DNA sequence: CTCCAGGTGCTTG
DNA sequence: CAAGCACATGGA
């Protein structure tokens, strides 16, 4: 077992805030999977314990420990409601996940819910993934790009009308294209992603934020729409892309974090 | 049984 | 442009 010192992370807020879908809690540990990684984390005071097929550098990138969240909170200290969300969920981190798993996960997300998305990605992993035994439990890696090419299996995973999107995106994308998206600036990366069927503006923003580390992404779903039209924009019928554009102007490269804290706050406190 | 869920794509005014 | 609707499916 290994440890990172002098860092405060709230794993519950981080994992339960709808960023990723393969994790569970057991014996005071949070078990997490993304791509072909399997590891467990435990946070106590300012220590972060970890174990699995990762090293410290990977974990620092996964939890984006290089981001100065305290400085970001200070930048918005005059925004009382935002300040409340930041304080309430201190320690919530944006995660940096496997891009392809992130793409498929959020392709599954449209008009769905978190428990069901979990079920979808678990099923795909169990069908196609490589087995890994860790702590006497069996885990499965996420199927690599190109593998999800059987409509029948995608249907079995209960992805419903999203099956055709996963199938087509799996066929369209290449590893090279994924690297191009990584290198491209936010706007162009978003355009590239939206060439894939099933990836609209909201899903693209989730993928850019959690899979590619583009921090100005600001996904606007029903919950974000609710809180943004309640707190910042009067007009209830403002379309999602206008809310997202407003937020990127207002929050800049903090937009991604602001979104995640507001999303979590909205789900916990708004109707 | 009806309604909704981290939307998207397509068709109409 | 904006508005309406189908799309699968599990859970409340």
Name the nucleotide nearest A115; use CA and C1'.
Answer: C10
CB of A197 under 7 A from strand B? yes
- Give Cα A79 distance to the centre of its chain: 25
Read off the pLDDT of residues A210-225 as tens digits, 9 standing for 90 and up: 999 999 999 999 999 9
Chain B bases near protein CB atoms (7 A cut-off) = 5-9
CB of A154 under 7 A from strand B? no
**Cβ-Cβ contacts under 8 Å for A25 (sequence gap 6 or more):** A31
Report residue A1's pLDDT band, with 50, 70 and 90 as the boundaries. Answer: confident
Give dist(CA A120, CA A257) in Å, integer: 26
Q: Is the pLDDT of residue A78 over 80?
A: yes
**Contact criterion met (CB below 8 Å) for A215 and A196:** no
pTM to 2 decimal places: 0.98
Tokens of A215: 């921090």
Read off the pLDDT of residues A116-133 as tens digits, 9 standing for 90 and up: 999 999 999 999 999 999
Read off the pLDDT of residues A184-201 as tens digits, 9 standing for 90 and up: 999 999 999 999 999 999
**Cβ-Cβ contacts under 8 Å for A117 (sequence gap 6 or more):** A21, A105, A108, A109
CB of A114 under 7 A from strand B? yes
Tokens of A261: 């804290």
Give dist(CA A41, CA A203) in Å, integer: 28
Distance A204 CA to C11 C1' (A): 27
Report residue A271's pLDDT band, with 50, 70 and 90 as the boundaries. Answer: confident
Phi, psi of A2 (to 5 degrees): -130, 170
Rg of chain A in Å (alpha carbons): 18
Helix axes A186-194, A175-183, angle to 10 degrees: 150
């Amino acid at each position: 077992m290994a440890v990172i010192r002098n860092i405060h992370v709230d794993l519950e807020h981080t994992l339960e805030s709808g960023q990723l879908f393969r994790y569970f809690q057991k014996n005071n540990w949070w078990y997490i999977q993304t791509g072909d990684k399997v590891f467990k984390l435990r946070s106590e005071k300012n220590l972060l314990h970890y174990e699995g097929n990762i090293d410290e550098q990977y974990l620092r990138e996964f939890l984006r420990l290089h981001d100065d969240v305290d400085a970001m909170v200070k930048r918005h200290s005059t925004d009382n409601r935002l300040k409340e969300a930041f304080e309430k969920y201190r320690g919530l981190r944006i995660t940096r996940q496997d891009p392809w798993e992130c793409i498929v996960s959020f392709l599954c997300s449209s008009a769905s819910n978190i428990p069901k998305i979990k079920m979808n990605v678990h099923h795909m992993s169990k069908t196609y993934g490589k087995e890994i035994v860790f702590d006497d439990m069996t885990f499965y890696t996420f199927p690599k790009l190109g593998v999800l090419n059987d409509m029948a299996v995608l249907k079995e995973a209960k992805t419903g009308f999203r099956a055709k999107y996963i199938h087509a995106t799996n066929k369209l994308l290449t590893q090279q294209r994924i690297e191009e998206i990584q290198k491209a600036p936010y706007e162009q990366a978003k355009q590239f992603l939206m060439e894939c069927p099933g990836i609209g503006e909201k899903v693209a923003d989730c993928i850019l934020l959690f899979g590619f580390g583009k921090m100005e992404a600001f996904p606007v779903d029903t919950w974000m729409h609710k809180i943004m039209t309640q707190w910042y924009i009067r007009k209830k019928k403002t379309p999602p892309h206008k809310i997202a554009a407003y937020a990127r102007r207002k929050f800049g490269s903090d937009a991604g974090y602001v979104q995640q804290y507001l999303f979590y706050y909205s789900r916990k406190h708004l109707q």
